[in-house]
Structure 1
Amino acid sequence: MKKGLYIGRFQPLHKGHIHSLLWCMEKVDELIVAVGSSDKSFEFRNPFTAGERIEMIRDFLKNESKENIEKTVLVPVPDVGTHILWSYNLDLLVPRYNTVFTNDPFTSMLFEERKIEVVRPTMINRDRISATEVRNRIASDQDWHELMTSSTIELINELKGVDRIKKLYNLTKIRQ
Structure 2
Amino acid sequence: MKKILVTVFVIILFAIGYIYATPYLVMKNIREEVVAQNIDGLSQYIDYDSVRTHLGKQLKTAITAQFVSAPEMQNNPFSDFAMVMIPGLVDRLTEVLISPEAIGALFKGENVKKIAEHQPTITPPSAEQSSENNYSGFGAKWNQAKTGYESFSWFVVEIPNDEGKVVKFRFRREGLIEWKLNEIVLPFDFLN
Same fold? TM cut 0.5:
no
- The answer to which structure, 1 or 2, has the higher relative contact order (CA under 8 A, 6+ apart) is 1
More helix by share: 2
User: TM-score, normalised to structure 2's length?
Assistant: 0.28
- For the pair shown, the structure with the greater C-alpha radius of gyration is 2
